[in-house]
Structure 1
Amino acid sequence: MMQQPIEPGPAEPFVSPHPYATQRALERRAKQTADGARRETLLYLDGVTKSFDGFKAINKLSLVLQKGEMRAIIGPNGAGKTTMMDIITGKTKPDSGEVFFRGDVDLTRHDEAAIASLGIGRKFQKPTVFESLDVDENLRLSLAGSRSVFSALRHKRTVEEAAKIEAILATTRLTDKRHRLAADLSHGQKQWLEIGMLLAQDPELLLVDEPVAGMTDAETAETARLLREIAETRSVVVVEHDMHFVRELGVKVTCLHEGSVLSEGTLDHVSADPRVVEVYLGR
């Protein structure tokens, strides 16, 4: 009987015997994997470095924030917290490293105004509100976009704009203060107003720098509740020194030191890290 020919099986993939080619293939595969993981994030920093006159304010910093996540950033003075926020918002350009928003938006290629329009809002430690205007007018200006102050205040708000302002007033605990001059608000209420002004611009990511500095205990507790409510609809990064307030937030904590991540996890985990105790909490 005539023997049937054997069908050839699937060809083995060709692998170059040269070790450099193998290394390059592995690097490409690793990059594809990293790019895929990055696209699932809202904020992605990898290997970010920034030096000022030879001093590394940020040193190979890597940090990932998921969509809808609130994160607390702690660390001693000079740890790089402010520089990190400057880099995210485009105020400072890194020397090296990747900074991506929504997976594929390279923030290093955009300036501050463009980054703000992409949906990243920043609140500095000291509130910057229009003290000669009342609360309602401050919020109307924040909704105005490119309109001038005069035209914004004369602008007849739409039903949608009115509803948005009402919602922001409720969120920021300022409904009964809407016609009070910003200058007459307490320090804590001014902080809430500025947060409200940022919310009026619909940021997807809100960066908040030491929001409870100078607040009363009652205002601090209320601010924790306020930020937890905000985090239900957007992502929030909070830089803070008050550990009681951080505990009230109940979120993942990242401790920075000398420009890089020293420890990360729950507050209990980070607080128990001997390195964190030595450089920060033990002081």
Structure 2
Amino acid sequence: MAIGGLTTNALLYLDNVSVTFDGFRALNALSLSIDAQEMRAIIGPNGAGKTTMMDVITGKTRPNQGVAVFEASHDLTKLDEASIAELGIGRKFQTPTVFEMHTVEDNILLALKTDRRPFPTLFSKRTKAEKERIDALLERVRLTGSRDRKAGELSHGQKQWLEIGMLLAQEPKLLLVDEPAAGMTDQETADTADLLREIAKTASVVVVEHDMVFVRDLGVKVTCLHEGSVLAEGSLDAVSTNERVVEVYLGR
């Protein structure tokens, strides 16, 4: 299906997207393509447009021009945030948001993709399928041994994993992750890279990150943004040796 004259097979395709805030152009004719089951790292200096790009994808910000096409048939610029989430796009912000007074297991239960209207929620009982799904998610995010702990007792890295698990409970097709390695120990950082690589086997993942060691550990294609546009794209080695990238970002 073509949208705005475009035909694409990519899972996510941004074309000529521009966003202006009070005269400041946060995105400048940005074009970006993400395939199904691809993980992409997005890097760039502060103010490069990384957060605004994610805001456009999730419906938080409307672009002044351009389209954001999901699954070749949905123009995200025409949809609200709830509708976009229902399509299968999940977002994890830099600061983890979990229910700290509830157990880890209950956090996952609350996030499961199921009927959450008041009546079904009040009278529902945990099914065998839900229990198996929770067990699988806890194992996937390395929190099986912490299932009965209050979420507020977890380390920063574990809270990050829990929130990722809560997003996975929604069965996303595309996961946007903002600086997942920030504040983590070296071991947690390595484990998070492993986790994201596992997720990318079944869903697309876009990782916004400043930690170049972590980006290298991911071993994926890198897109560097600058002043709202793509400055360079390719392997980390290719991008990190680009003279303009070194000048505006890595050389600082």
SS of the counterpart of 2:6?
helix
Q: Aligned partner of 2:47: which letter?
A: G
Q: How does 1:150-161 map to 2 (within 5 A)?
A: 152=121, 155-161=124-130
Select the residue among 175, 195, 200 that pairs with 1:226. 195
Q: How big is the shift at 1:163?
A: 1.4
- 1:203 matched to 2:172? The reply is yes
Q: TM-score, structure 2 length as denominator?
A: 0.95
CA distance in 2 between partners of 1:222 and 1:154 (Å): 38
Q: TM-score, structure 1 length as denominator?
A: 0.85
Query: Root-mean-square deviation (CA), in Å?
Result: 1.8
- Bigger relative CO (Cα 8 Å, ≥ 6 apart): 2
The Cα offsets for residues 56-83 of structure 1, whole Å up to 9 and x where unpaired, read as 0000000000111000000000000000
Q: Aligned partner of 1:72: which letter?
A: A
Q: How big is the shift at 1:162?
A: 1.3
Q: Aligned partner of 1:238: which letter?
A: V
Provide structure 2 residue ranges, at least 5 long, that are not aligned to the other structure: none
The answer to which of 156-165 and 242-251 deviates more is: 156-165
CA distance in 1 between partners of 2:182 and 2:88 (Å): 25
The answer to which of 159-168 and 110-119 deviates more is: 159-168
CA distance in 1 between partners of 2:198 and 2:109 (Å): 22
Q: Aligned partner of 1:267: which letter?
A: L
- 1:175 matched to 2:141? The reply is no
CA distance in 2 between partners of 1:148 and 1:69 (Å): 34
Max Rg structure: 1
Q: Is the 8 A contact 1:144 1:152 kept in 2?
A: no
- 1:35 matched to 2:6? The reply is yes
The number of residue pairs the alignment matches comes to: 250
SS of the counterpart of 1:254?
strand
Structure 2 counterpart of 1:59: 28
Percent identical across equivalent pairs?
A: 66
Structure 1 counterpart of 2:212: 243
Q: Which runs of 4+ in 1 moved over 6 A?
A: 148-151
- 1:124 matched to 2:111? The reply is no
Select the residue among 219, 225, 230 that pairs with 1:261. 230
Provide structure 1 residue ranges, at least 5 long, that are not aligned to the other structure: 1-30
